[in-house]
Structure 1
């Protein structure tokens, strides 16, 4: 057998060369478009690659010995190369043709498509068998998933109502699923059909256990410095004024202010205004090096509230600077201030960032500006933080209170309770 490869500009050129080299009994095995020349595979000139073969010696001498007309005398129509007899070598080449067929563009109409012998085309190949097996496995997997979804038992109506309410409150869906599964297990263990009262009781109990803590929500009497950290726009300065008023008016403690929020002039003026109203001293620090002087100026104070700049929590420079500002001698607490109007995805990212420091408590603001409270549950579940206060307005010092876990649970289950 004789196999030869041609790279030509057009199919007529290929036919002429094949006819001249291999004779009219040659077989075209494959054709495909390629690019020749260019730079790094680009800007190359389009060419056609043709692979042809013959079972005989081929060439013009072969044509003469077989009594065929000379190549030059054959009409263009007769120049079309026809399939070779299905000999053993041709069958092997047919398998090669079948494997490569999908990699090549359609052959122009001037050629008759070579059809491999049926015996070869039906013979399974290892690559085909592997591909078919993988497709079969994927179909089986999709079938199992479909039936699993269909066969998954539905929640009893009382639990389904609570599930819908918790998802509406933006409680994380995985956490909701966990709550439902435990309630369902308790129902199955009792051997009785779960009622609305039993479903609500189970979910309330689980949420109460999640919120449970032995720590006090209030600022400890032994605390010397309270740091307030958080992103921009959550209301840290107003919250500090509310808590300072509580310390002055309710606990009769001498309070001092330190602010490092020199990036917003309005923030300094706002805190100075509150300091004047409460008759408490205030110190402004422009760098961590100024802290020592500020603490000396306020050494007569029982407790110092420190306001930090609410800059971009993703800024590594700010993180480093804030970490230096939180290096305080003596008893201290760091309270993370978050707004309930913030998406939980962002709230989680913020908490992850500030959790690099020693966060002790979390304080939520703007409760009056939202009807969704699931973020509180999500945050307590995902982070080991103690709840402290919640604000529900701008009035100083009134619109702040210790957060009530029972009240939050009531708000989460409100609709299902009254339905």
Structure 2
């Protein structure tokens, strides 16, 4: 097994064929950057690990002449043993390399040691490589301006300042401004429970006059659940079966401070569901929509959910089940990707305790593993 470096894969293949012959197999290839200054202007090379396939038939370099006698070489015990060892080594290396791209997508080699901890923290939280690279460049510039006089604690402070600048404008847009709060999202994310938590906070902590509207006529259990919360909070609940019902109910609730609207939990991949929402609810100036999603879901699935619900105006996100996962980078990735703020996160089943209204500093604490 040998390691080769070249300026391109074509050049590397020529070296390997010349050295190991046609029986060579490539075990690993990756791009390596060397030299440069402060992480910039690095030289790009291709690094390839190759070996001779122990299971390949030996290459015949010269065709025997007619009439000549060719002796068949018999494999010795030593050659068989060496082939077995090489095959075992190749298999073990393949197992290690299978995990390599995921664990080492971004390397922090060459960085000042003091700058690595906040970057590693973001990597552990599964923050996107794009954002980590952006932070890395920001930290390097600050390190250069400080002439290297920085410790780990200050590097964390720099990272937090970068994050505040990144998401601060998004969170300023996320403050609740409208009277009618519409809760939408796929099935199974805890929309009704989240709505009850928000309503309980409005009634018990803020002393507001609150009412419920349910458009979830598909699930009797959901309406009964909301009625239970309404009875406990002593607030009215109305059920809208069609758009005309919804408009009429709004007229009866003019004197209320906040009206929470619960929608049906359906398969978000069915576009008819979102179209039904559009036809049921009048998304005018006084209606503000929150998209509820679970942090335990896959990030690609959440992106698809957001795309499907883009047919209606989504002002901000609510993330549930924060207590059921140790990684929260998805929250930051989606904020930056879709340029939307986060209104609330939930971290338990208790009503109304386990809901947190989110501001910029809250998200900073979540991402950097501090108490919320």
- Asked if Structure 1 and Structure 2 have the same fold, meaning a TM-score greater than 0.5 normalized by the shorter chain, the answer is yes
Displacement after TM superposition at 1:308 (Å): 0.9
**363 and 184 in structure 1: CA distance in 2 versus 1, 3 angstrom threshold:** same
Partner of 2:135: 179
Pair 1:196-2:67 in alignment: no
**149 and 383 in structure 1: CA distance in 2 versus 1, 3 angstrom threshold:** same
Question: What is the SS of the residue equivalent to 1:313?
Answer: coil
Partner of 1:257: 212
Q: TM-score, normalised by structure 1?
A: 0.60
Partner of 2:121: 165
Partner of 2:298: 343
Counterpart CA distance in 2 for 1:276 and 1:331 is 26
Counterpart among 311, 314, 319 of residue 364 in structure 1: 319
Counterpart CA distance in 2 for 1:376 and 1:364 is 8
Give yes or no for contact 1:373–1:408 (8 Å, CA) kept in 2. Answer: no
Pair 1:244-2:199 in alignment: yes
Counterpart among 334, 341, 349 of residue 289 in structure 2: 334
In structure 1, stretches of 5+ residues that fail to align are 1-135
Give yes or no for contact 1:259–1:308 (8 Å, CA) kept in 2. Answer: yes
Deviations 1:210-256 (A, max 9, x none): 12137375533xx2311111111111111111111222223333222
Pair 1:156-2:112 in alignment: yes
**375 and 303 in structure 1: CA distance in 2 versus 1, 3 angstrom threshold:** same
Deviations 1:294-346 (A, max 9, x none): 32343443321111112122211112111223314551211111222222222
Displacement after TM superposition at 1:259 (Å): 0.9
Count residues with an aligned counterpart. 277
Question: What is the SS of the residue equivalent to 2:172?
Answer: coil
Displacement after TM superposition at 1:382 (Å): 1.0
Counterpart CA distance in 2 for 1:360 and 1:400 is 19
- 1:4-403 paired onto structure 2 within 5 Å: 139-140=10-11, 148-149=32-33, 151=35, 154-192=110-148, 194-213=150-169, 215=172, 219-220=176-177, 223-403=178-358
Give yes or no for contact 2:117–2:152 (8 Å, CA) kept in 1. Answer: no
Counterpart CA distance in 2 for 1:142 and 1:386 is 49
Q: Which structure has more RCO (C-alpha within 8 Å, separation ≥ 6)?
A: 2
Deviations 1:15-64 (A, max 9, x none): xxxxxxxxxxxxxxxxxxxxxxxxxxxxxxxxxxxxxxxxxxxxxxxxxx
Counterpart CA distance in 2 for 1:371 and 1:331 is 36
Counterpart CA distance in 1 for 2:327 and 2:167 is 17
Question: What is the SS of the residue equivalent to 2:211?
Answer: strand
Instruction: Name the larger-Rg structure.
Output: 1
